Amino acid sequence: MIFFRFNEDASIFDAASSLPNSDPFATNSNNNNSPVGISEGAELIEVNQTITGYLSQTDLNNPTLTGKFKDDYLLTGVLPGQEILVELNSTFDNFLQLVDASTGEVVSVNNDFAGTRNSQIEFTAEENIDYILRASSYRPRATGKYNITAFSKVETPGLSFAYDNNEKNISDNQDFKSLKVAVDGDTVKVEAETYGDWSPGFSHFYFTGGDNGQIDIIPSDTRFRIRGATPGYSGWFGVNLGEGTPTVDGSKYSFEFSWSEVFGDATEVQTWLFSQESRDGVGSPRGEKLKVIKPTDSTPVDPDIDSSSNDIVGNTFSEARNVSVASNGKTYEGWVGNNDSADYYAFSLGATNDFELNLTDLDADVSVELLDTNGTVIENYQSSSTGEISIDRELGAGAYRVRVSTSSDEGTDYDLNLAVTPKIQTVSGVTITTTGSDARGTLSTASSLPLLNIEEPSLASLDSDRLNQDEKEAIKEAIADTFRGMRDGKFANIKGQGYTAVVIDTGIDLDHPFFGPDRNNDGVADRIIYHQDFADGLMDASDVHNHGSHVASIIASEDGVAPRANIAALKVFTSFDNPDTRLRDERDFFEWGDLEQALQWALNNVETHKIVSVNLSLGAGNYTPQNLNRAQTDYGIDDELLELRARGVIVVGASGNDFFPNNSVQGVAYPAADPNVISVGAVFDGDVGSRSWNSGAIANTSGVDRIAPFSQRDSTLTDIFAPGVDIIGADADGGTVPMDGTSQAAPHISGMAVLAQQLAEQELNRTLEPTEFIQLLRNTGQQVFDGDENRNRRVDGNEEDDNVTNTGLTFRRADMLGLANEILDLRPPGDRDIDLSALNLSLGQTTINTGSNFNANFQIQNTGFDDPGSFDVTFYLSNDKKITTDDRKIESYTVSDGKLGASGSTGLLSVSLSLPNKTSPIWKSFGNGVGYIGMIVDRKNTVGETNEGNNTSSAARVNLRQSGRVSVTIDRVKGDLDPDGYLFTDKSDFYSVVSINNGSEQRSATRDSDNDVHPNWRFSRNVSGVNIPIDIKIFDSDGGLRFNDDRADIDPGSGNDLNLLYNLFTGDVTRDLDIEFEEIKRRRTRDESDIYSKGGNGEIWLSLDFS
């Protein structure tokens, strides 16, 4: 079936069709965009070719659409005079542009053709013009998958149409609000929507052509009248309209007639539309003719006139479309109907969340089911036509499916919105939110061209008879130089046992012998203590790529850095691939929203699995301190990274492999660039000869500690280097494979973090803080110079010999043995007798405003016989009397050497402290306005006391207060307080009276003669306290029956006025209403008012603000 549609909001006649059969999830990397007026760099697209791409936040900005990304395609194989139809179909509301490649001029645009969110442009190719097809979005910063196709109308006659240049005049004057015609075999289907005030009998829609003449379709009172010189249709022939389908200001009607009866053997006819006398009494000129071609067997056919070409969602449980969720909600557009009765969506959660699902914009009965990965129905809801469906509940960590289905033949578009609020308690004070970015990143493995021809060995383990001695030694030598000495002597038992490293990657070979035995025969090696697939919505993280298995084996294989450590394998790269993908493997990409959920899983399981490191051998971009903020905003994982660091977890990231493509400009990929991540670059660990990589980087020669030419680097952001070339590790099939890249360098550091924390707990009775680990890593690393160290313009020793511009900077390469010895040096002397305890903590005031300064007085006592030297005292804020290092750190104070000797006390010391600013998220847990200040002496246990159990003081209670300005904005008031129209008017004259914190009442201006007003009345008052009362009254100044102003009832309870209590710490609202701040935040993301209340005869919408 083919159809065209006339619409009053359009500037052309839009043509629409179904897409040719193609996989909607095939993906190309279409980031080579051409600047305006330049076709170089644009991807090529041929006539009658479909390309599937992905619009992402790493794409270039559209120069003509502010804040929107774009992908460019240079159209090839087109001839002058050829009629071309371009279709852009996507998961988002897209925008299509036709651009002159030589001038950059936008020739034509289209958005939302035929009532869908897709776009279509039809044009006739001109001589000496090259055309760029530009895929973009309607909404700023929108991203997602799309299909773009350039059809030749000669080869696809069912899609041949021309424009009506006079349509604007017609849309101003004619009686048809919209008109759609579809040809399905021999049947012509007509759907028309008319205005409610149309003048019957004067708007005409003509078909003419073939041997049998023409017909003229004219709307009448109760029918469409068809007239013309056609056998069987001569004179007037009526098609009853019945009642039609009511619309906002008109009605929709439909009827059918036979093509062969009217047009005979004709294969095409002409149509046009005009008005002799329209609603305003003014006629319109006859429109330019449109060509309609009868479909043949080879014509692409749309099986249903109402089906939407915007639907590319999987239709079975196993083919579910993987989507991300967000705290602000993510909306996905789809369609279900008689030829596509069910859509499946898959999403994963890393932690327990408050989950909210909303299904809107429905035109038919729809059912929604929330399922787990076993297909078990968790929730099931049914809507009535044009209704909405909402699910609001708590969901634990795991993988889920959403099924949207209908039994209706009519079908319906829908908007599916998924919102989550992670329930993760933090120690950093940051509130964990979910951004759910659809932007994509890549692996940080650099493919070495010579290695592509190497046959990968399929080996069971290092003990396999199929593994010769040279191969065994090669695996061991991969880490020997860096970790020599850790397997013998005093560090022989430091192997990571009891600790967990999280690997967020492509998954893992679950039963690879490198990860230990499978004693319970469940198909998973015993040291893989957890695995989940966040990319495909599965609880199985099996690797199909090799990369994740390889990275995990460097950290914790039997011969890895930490050979007894446990592994949590979190998969964020899909297992699925499309054979038609032309540029890069779909499995080479991850979405940041999936990575965000994986990080939340790590946060939620730090204590459960004793997680000490997280490895991120993935990323995107080239960031410096100057542009880092953009990455944090775009990708939305900086809050999770901050909290992991606050909990003592060491997060390690690969610096990236694009130093050559970035023209040797300094910078590192994100997330390695984040201040809470250790950025790791790659060096050679031996002479492997010359090497070249797909990125274009070339090492003419190689040697120990030479920086790999592909490795991104930055004077500020690069923390450390580690081996990253020709590293042999596990593959995804039980064997081994060599790989290059900063992906291979990063897991060396992740494994070192495991060993360092085990050693620190054993020797220091504590773990290292991440900042402390980084500093020790740098202090003990071996120097590596990037470039011509001797400045003699030749390669001496380990100087780089490559095709990049070296920075001339000195970096450090990790040294595990040096790091381990440095940790031992942190031990205090074992023969000293020191016992510190906290005494007499008191505060200068008992009531303190947030963000203000206050004094603390304290004493420290030493009951031991030795001088403790210098040590720290750390002050904390807690919401209970028990002070721990998990509480909010306020400040540290150093007791200098000499202030406290043997068997004595410091005397009274004083320190000025500051509470966090009033906007800090930490205050959400202080809703009762009570806090406790405490201190911990020698928090890191660096002194070495005989008793570490008395270092925490008793807590001093404080009354907390918020000070600032509370504002109340009344957005909307609704109600009819004069229903009988007595004396004056039958409409309300609203005004409001508001009191904040029991202060004087403030009265608004009056909004006259309207029962539904949007006044934007704003009231403000400076306040200080915890819970602030707000009293709101609404009046009608008409006088009413007793000549007194009527008071509206806006209280959902027994009163009239709305009395609220606003908690300045939590943001919750209580008293007449009970609304948690999390619900207010959700309403704000939907552009709704904070609060809605309905009483007996009035309704009110209002918002609150504290600043």
Please report the DSSP string for 146-160 in residue order. EEEEEEETTT-GGG-
How far apart are alpha carbons 15 and 113 in whole angstroms? 8
Same domain membership, residue 485 and residue 408: no
Q: Looking at this protein, which amino acid is placed at residue 496?
A: G
- CATH value at residue 467: 3.40.50.200
Question: Following CA atoms 549, 550, 554, 555 in sequence, which dihedral angle do they give, to the nearest 10 degrees?
Answer: -30
Same domain membership, residue 92 and residue 235: no
Sheet holding 94-100, edge to edge: 43-46, 70-76, 131-137, 94-100, 106-110
Please tell me the predicted confidence (pLDDT) of residue 99. Answer: 93
- Residue 605: strand, helix, or coil: coil
How far apart are alpha carbons 19 and 301 in whole angstroms? 9
Look up residue 800 and give its two tokens. 């780089």
Please tell me the predicted confidence (pLDDT) of residue 827. Answer: 77
325 burial type by CB count under 10 A (0-12 exposed, 13-18 middle, 19+ buried): buried
- CATH value at residue 1058: 2.60.40.150
- Within a domain: residue 916? yes
Torsion 1076-1078-1082-1087 (CA) sign: positive
Pairing state between β 214-219 and 223-227: antiparallel
Helix (H) or strand (E) holding 638: helix 638-646
Same domain membership, residue 811 and residue 849: no
- Residue 528: strand, helix, or coil: strand
- Within a domain: residue 292? no
- Within a domain: residue 313? no
Count of domains for the chain:
6
- CATH value at residue 224: 2.60.40
Question: Is the distance from CB of 223 to CB of 241 less than 8 angstroms?
Answer: yes
Same domain membership, residue 711 and residue 596: yes
Torsion 894-897-898-903 (CA) sign: positive
Sheet holding 412-422, edge to edge: 330-336, 412-422, 353-360, 389-395
Same domain membership, residue 1094 and residue 1055: yes
Please tell me the predicted confidence (pLDDT) of residue 746. Answer: 96
Owner of token pair 């100087």: 799
* Other beta carbons less than 10 A from residue 878's beta carbon: 18
Domain-ending residue, one of 96, 124, 159: 159
CA separation, residue 623 to residues 590, 617, 1030 (Å): 19, 16, 48
Same domain membership, residue 543 and residue 618: yes
How far apart are alpha carbons 23 and 820 in whole angstroms? 53
Look up residue 1030 and give its two tokens. 């707000």
- CATH value at residue 941: 2.60.40.10
How far apart are alpha carbons 132 and 130 in whole angstroms? 7
- Within a domain: residue 312? no
- CATH value at residue 100: 2.60.120.380
Pairing state between β 930-937 and 871-878: antiparallel
Please tell me the predicted confidence (pLDDT) of residue 789. Answer: 59
Question: Is the distance from CB of 555 to CB of 562 less than 8 angstroms?
Answer: yes
Q: Which residues of the chain have pLDDT under 70?
A: 1-41, 57, 91, 113-116, 141, 153-185, 189-257, 259, 261-264, 266-312, 339, 384-386, 443-489, 576-588, 789-798, 829-831, 979-986, 1038-1043
Helix (H) or strand (E) holding 862: strand 853-862
Same domain membership, residue 186 and residue 109: no
Look up residue 298 and give its two tokens. 């080879």
* Other beta carbons less than 10 A from residue 246's beta carbon: 10
- Residue 924: strand, helix, or coil: helix
- Within a domain: residue 758? yes
Please tell me the predicted confidence (pLDDT) of residue 958. Answer: 93
Same domain membership, residue 1001 and residue 929: no
- Within a domain: residue 1027? yes
Domain-ending residue, one of 159, 194, 210: 159
Q: Cα 44 to the chain's mean position, in Å?
A: 29
Same domain membership, residue 703 and residue 781: yes
Helix (H) or strand (E) holding 682: strand 678-683
Rg (CA), the chain: 35
- Within a domain: residue 694? yes
How far apart are alpha carbons 177 and 170 in whole angstroms? 10
How far apart are alpha carbons 1049 and 1034 in whole angstroms? 8
What domain range is 649 assigned to? 443-578+586-819
Task: Provide CB contacts within 8 A for 659, sequence distance 6+.
Answer: 697, 709, 710, 711, 712, 713, 804
Side-chain-facing half-sphere of 114: CA atoms under 13 Å:
27
Same domain membership, residue 780 and residue 891: no
Please tell me the predicted confidence (pLDDT) of residue 127. Answer: 83
Same domain membership, residue 977 and residue 930: no
Domain-ending residue, one of 239, 269, 287: 287
Same domain membership, residue 628 and residue 497: yes
21 burial type by CB count under 10 A (0-12 exposed, 13-18 middle, 19+ buried): exposed
Q: Which of 209, 534, 388 lies closest to 1086, judged by CA?
A: 388
Phi/psi of residue 669, nearest 5 degrees = -70, 160
- Within a domain: residue 432? no
- For the stretch 75-101, what's the b/e string if a residue is b when 16 or more beta carbons lie within 10 angstroms of its beta carbon? beebeeeebbbbbbbbbbbbbbbbbbb
- Residue 358: strand, helix, or coil: strand
CA separation, residue 295 to residues 15, 116, 160 (Å): 14, 22, 10
